[in-house]
Chain A
Amino acid sequence: MTSGLWEIVLRGVWVTVQLLVFSALLGAVVAFTVGIARTHRLRSVRFLAGCYTEVFRGTSALVMIFWVYFVLPPAFGWQLVPMWAGTLALGLTYGAYGTEIVRGALNAVNPAQREGGIALGFTPWQRMRLILLPQAVPEMIPSFSNLLIELLKGTALVSVMGMGDLAFSGNLVRLALQQSAEIYSYILVIYFVIAFLLTRLMRGLEKRLKEQLAGRPAGGAA
């Protein structure tokens, strides 16, 4: 491969990484907001949050991407920049998977912890922020790590809409090179390396969060 073709691939890597970061951030916001809503004491709030999860998990990510690209613009009269359309579709879809992780981890916190918070006169929000989340978040990390890999693989889907990510640039180079096996092997290896780095990053994060929790004077219960 020539350096010009590598340049195309590297530009694709950059778009993929950007898309990954943005949609992971949106996905995290969705996962925590909707996930916490799914543990709310009001049944109606839980129901609405559950509906969100089922609808976005039920549809295919690629269908969602098509929908955001082709149905939203005429329906609302505005056109999204491809990067934001991709971020929106991926963040909302993978965020829906994340709500299950948040809900599961929150429900797994010892109920006595919540009762302790009530006894100390904490408001519900203080209980969530100071007692429940610090204990639940480290438990979420391994699942979120898997989900992040799924999201990374999901970013390749935007190439179908012509967004210049890694999968798309692979196709461009294939057309120029007429050597499918070579270029797709490179592309797959690059995805694998990114996935490997993400896994390492998340493992480090989990270790740090657990150490922090254990280091707290009142954290013995965890």
Chain B
Amino acid sequence: MTWDWGAVRDFLPHLWDGLLVALRALALGSLISFTLGLVWALLMRTPTLWVRRPVGVVTEFVRDTPLLVQLFFLFYVLPEWGIAASALTTGVVAIGLHYSTYTMQVYRAGIEAVPPGQWEAATALSLPVRRTWTAVILPQALRRVVPALGNYVIAMLKDTPLLMTITVLEMLGEARLFSQEHFRFTEPLTVIGVAFVLISLPASLLVRALERRLAG
């Protein structure tokens, strides 16, 4: 099969549509995973074993099972439970939940990296628990976790094609639709492959630069 630049040109508007959907899913998914991950990480630091144990088991379970099956689970089960959510919403929730189990570990490492002296100082000043977290620990911890969270944003971007399987028209979904209509697979699939490299390469360079700056 020969390469047809015409097909590439025809596909570009669809690529743009798909990219916008993917970016929207990425933004919302990141937001959920950043928030939920912090919640998990804080819950894992509570002294109550009854909280830590279930959170630990659930997050481990979510982390070690495929996002694709979790997507299917939510997509087919939520309607059975009477929850009507759009495919994109379902996908965003699945991605956010899945990656929250990764960001949780990032936050944990960030919190553990805060020097013990900071905790002791907060105790010495007899700051209440809430103030210790919001004014002393989290501002220092959160700065450290930015590059690692950035890595997971890139990973999430590379998982947005999975949304295709639940009828969301992100980049791969658009490519598949285009292929079925025009009987050309080579161009749309290669174009989105290149698009992914073009987005994730500068993004990972940026994250690496950020890592170096925050480390130094």
Contact = CB atoms under 8 A, between A and B. Distances in A.
Given A66-B189, A192-B65, A184 B72 contact: yes
Given A167-B69, A167-B72, A184 B190 contact: no
Interface stretch (A53-61, A132-140, A208-216): A53-61
A30 B192 CA distance: 24
Q: In this complex, which of B64, B185, B192, B193 has the most chain A Cβ atoms within 10 angstroms of its Cβ?
A: B64
B76 interface: yes
Q: In this complex, which of A58, A59, A62, A181 has the most chain B Cβ atoms within 10 angstroms of its Cβ?
A: A58
Nearest to B63: A149
A70 B193 contact: no
Contact of B158 (A59, A75, A153, A170): A59
A31 to B, nearest CB: 18
A60 B77 contact: no
Nearest to B163: A62
Interface string B70-85: 1011001100110000
A66 B189 CA distance: 7
Given A75-B1, A184-B73, A67 B193 contact: yes
A74 to B, nearest CB: 4
Which of under 10, 10 to 19, 20 to 34, or 35 or more describes the interface residues of A? 35 or more
A156 B161 contact: no
A187 B65 CA distance: 9
A169 B164 CA distance: 19
Contacts of A171: 72
Nearest to A54: B201
Nearest to A171: B72
A122 interface: no
B68 interface: yes
B64 A71 contact: no
Contacts of B80: 180-181
Q: In this complex, which of A60, A75, A155, A157 has the most chain B Cβ atoms within 10 angstroms of its Cβ?
A: A60
B162 A62 contact: yes
B38 interface: no
Given A62-B172, A66-B172, A67-B189, A55 B76 contact: no
Nearest to A180: B76
B196 A62 contact: no
Given A61-B158, A62-B164, A167-B72, 11 more contacts: A54-B201, A57-B204, A59-B200, A60-B160, A63-B161, A67-B193, A149-B63, A184-B69, A191-B64, A192-B61, A192-B64
Interface of B: 1, 61, 63-70, 72-73, 76-77, 80-81, 157-162, 164-165, 172, 175-176, 179, 185-186, 189-190, 192-193, 196-197, 200-201, 204
8 contacts: A60-B160, A70-B179, A71-B190, A74-B1, A156-B66, A181-B77, A181-B81, A188-B61
